[in-house]
Structure 1
Amino acid sequence: MKWEDSKKGYENYLKLEKSLSQNSIAAYINDINKLTDFLANKYKGVAPDKVKLDQLKAFVEWLNERGVSPRTQARTISGIKSFYKYLLIEGKITNDPTALLESPKIGRKLPDILTMEEIDTLINAIDLNKAEGQRNKAMLETLYSCGLRVSELVNLKITNLFFEQGFIKVEGKGEKERLVPASKSAIEEINKYLTTYRKKLRVSKDSENILFLNRRGRKLSRVMIFTIIKNLAEKVGLGKKISPHTFRHSFATHLINGGADLRAVQEMLGHESILTTEIYTHLDRDYLRNTIHQYHPRS
């Protein structure tokens, strides 16, 4: 059995059977490439069906020696386990060498969030005198009001705006679509952007249906969204390291802290498992302390 043939088949499996995005597929293949590079140097390129548990443990030790974080190690091991699960399903192996391979224990990291006041401060700091000001305001309002991933924001289509019904259609991971309610603020800011900045652009043919565009009339990059948010945070002296995903975390946390149903939030975020959504059920310490003081009979 050859690694290249196995990786090609695995890549097709991730694309066709698991319906993963290109970014996710690339991450999984990168995990396998790390393993094959290690095996080529340490064990003279042992074939995928000949890999033993001890060799995999040596690979994990090698990652650890190079200062790879426990979280990244765990993700890499998960990718390797997925690869061997595929080989098992396809009947290419009869024993899974990763069955007893353990991942490092990692704490559950709560996502950073912004308060409503911080979100308003960031949005209000946008210079609307600049040509792209209204675009940036509409983007940030959409990120927060709809809880989008940055990839979903840059790929948002005009034909997927159903403002009369109060929804937008989002194309999420693995090309899965979902309907997300759009707030009045998001609808208002997007409409302002459409009638000001966007209609003045010479739009390229491959971006005619893309909502948010750069000054050249093309789809914005993910990096550009990160840069816009980073610059705003520095401008207002926020003192927090934030990203587009911080707005998604804030969206979910504010909904749940306000009493929203967990499964409704799961649907709006596009999470396959409700376990992923449960991380947003954390509450701040002041809220917990005030609740205990107010309702506990011993307080």
Structure 2
Amino acid sequence: MNLNQSIHQFFEQYLPRIKGCSVQTIKAYRDTFKLFLPYAAAYHGVKIKSLTVDHLTSALILDFLDHLQTKRGNRASTRNQRLAALKSLAKMIRFMVPEKRRLAGMILSIPQKRSQRPLIGFLYPDEILKVYQAVDLSKSEGLRDYALLHLLYDSGARASEVATLNLEYFDPHHQTLAVLGKANRFRQMQLWPKTVDLINTYITGYRKKPNPMSRQRLFINQRGDGFTRHGINRICKKYLQRVLDPKRLADINPAHSFRHACAVRMLCAKEPVSDIKNRLGHENIQSTMTYLQMDLTHKRSIQEQFIRYSQSLLNPDPRLEELIDWENKQDTLAWLDTL
């Protein structure tokens, strides 16, 4: 059986139609095979068009994975991602070509390589406040950025998920937001009243007129287009650079740090792990369990620093009083007392 035919079947039928994979997943798998096919052809000394399914030996795949790390300098996590794409092809072969089940089974039995898990970088409450204060509300995009940062911390959504939010996903009456996450699955979450107010204010008075192709997008950039995840990251990085030192910035991912901060906030509030899992959109509970292994014994000192910060550095600016949730300071402090 020709491998090229299987690859076409994999990308045209199996991934989008049978499995219903997202565009992002398909593109990630595409990048894997753009590397793998030339390597497999050179390994067997044949042209790419002459490759067959029988060429997919475990020896070839292991050699390819080692090549990724030794020659291309990829980390173990990237190696495992490439292996996942190859295993997905093996699952299709096992499903659609029963006579090749043994070959597919050998590929599926290749173990992932253990790798060091990076530290989870999250923002502390006082850092969140500093980021909010760094937004210049007098600028045209200030309210948009302010609402966006509140939403990231409140929802725990990924940058890609916030970028693809549509107006219809936001329900101000019920104070809910629907988020389209990985594997094209929606999840609905309750938002804080202040986050709802900020998004409402942005939509009614500050949302830039969108281009026709982006008219349904919630957040619109300066060009009138919907944001990309890279655009969301740039906004987060801009404000984080204003309030954090470079050493601290090196430990966190700009947009993802808000997501982690949301998870830590829920964890410290003793919310059920299942609720944290559902809010973050984790497919596997093991992803959520990572947060339970964090050392939060110093949370009391964080609370004290946050209180001192809020008492000493808050300016009674009437303009900010209308936008920043200082009227709920007592609620925040009450929450901190539960840590």
Structure 1 and Structure 2 fold alike (TM over 0.5)? yes
Residues of 1 paired with 2:240 and 2:196: CA distance?
24
Cα distance in 2 for residues equivalent to 1:193 and 1:240: 28
- Structure 2 residue corresponding to 1:48, chosen from 15, 35, 53: 53
2:188 alignment partner, SS class:
strand
Name 1:58's counterpart in structure 2: 63
TM-score of the aligned structures, taking structure 1 as reference length:
0.89
Change over 3 Å in CA distance of 1:280–1:270 after alignment to 2: same
1:82 to 81, 84, 88: 88
Aligned-partner Cα distance in 2 for 1:150–1:194 = 19
Q: Distance in 2 between matches of 1:203 and 1:34?
A: 38
Q: Percent of counterpart pairs with the same letter?
A: 26
Q: Residue 220 of structure 1: SS of its match in structure 2?
A: coil
* Range with bigger deviation, 97-106 or 228-237: 97-106
User: Which of 218, 222, 239 is residue 211 of structure 1 equivalent to?
Assistant: 218
- Find the counterpart in structure 2 of residue 2 from structure 1: 2
Counterpart selection for 2:191 from 182, 195, 204 = 182
Correspondence for 1:259? 270
Q: Is the 8 A contact 1:202 1:216 kept in 2?
A: no
Look up the equivalent residue of 1:60 and give its one-letter code. Answer: L
Q: In 2 relative to 1, CA 54–108 (structure 1 residues): closer, same or farther, beyond 3 Å?
A: same
1:196 is paired with a residue whose SS is helix
User: Distance in 2 between the 1:71 and 1:216 partners?
Assistant: 36
Q: 1:172 aligns with which of 153, 173, 181?
A: 181
Q: Determine the structure 2 residue equivalent to 1:197.
A: 206
Counterpart contact for 1:113–1:249, Cα < 8 Å: yes
Asked if structure 2 preserves the Cα contact closer than 8 Å seen for 1:147 and 1:268, the reply is yes
1:20 is matched with which residue?
A: 21
Which runs of at least 4 in structure 1 moved beyond 4 Å after TM superposition?
Answer: 287-290
Following superposition, the deviation at residue 136 of structure 1 comes to 0.4
Cα pair 2:237 2:255 within 8 Å, conserved: no
3-state SS, counterpart of residue 226 of structure 2: coil
8 Å CA contact retained: 1:126, 1:232: yes
**2:77 maps to 1:71:** yes
- Per-residue CA distance 1:269-292 (angstroms, 9 max, x = gap): 2222212211122332534999xx
The residue matched to 1:113 in structure 2 has which SS? Answer: coil
Q: Which string of whole-angstrom CA distances, capped at 9 and with x for unpartnered residues, describes residues 145-182 of structure 1?
A: 01111111111111121122121111122221111111
Larger mean Cα displacement after TM superposition, 181-190 or 234-243 = 234-243
User: Which one of the candidate residues 229, 236, 247 is aligned to 2:236?
Assistant: 229
In the aligned structure 1, how far is the partner of 2:216 from the partner of 2:108?
46
Q: Which runs of 5 or more residues in structure 2 are unaligned?
A: 302-339
After superposition, the CA RMSD in angstroms is 2.1
Deviation at 1:243, TM superposition (A): 2.0
> CA, structure 1 residues 89+110, in 2 after alignment: closer, same or farther (shift >3 Å)?
farther
Unaligned runs of 5+ in 1: 291-299
Q: Could you say which residue in structure 2 is the equivalent of 1:295? A: none
**Residue 257 (structure 2) aligned to one of 239, 246, 259:** 246
Q: 2:128 matched to 1:119?
A: yes
Distance in 1 (alpha carbons) for counterparts of 2:69 and 2:210: 48
Aligned counterpart for 2:282 among listed residues 251, 271, 281: 271
Q: 1:15 touches 1:21 (CA, 8 Å); kept in 2?
A: yes
> Displacement, 1:9?
1.7
| Structure with greater helix percent | 2
Contact in 2 for aligned 1:113/1:246 (Cα 8 Å): yes
Work out the CA distance in 2 between the residues paired with 1:289 and 1:49: 60
Structure 2-normalised TM-score? 0.79
- Tell me the matched-pair count: 288
8 Å contact from structure 1 (residues 123, 140) kept in 2: yes
The answer to whether the 8 A contact 1:7-1:29 is kept is no
Q: Distance in 1 between matches of 2:20 and 2:137?
A: 40
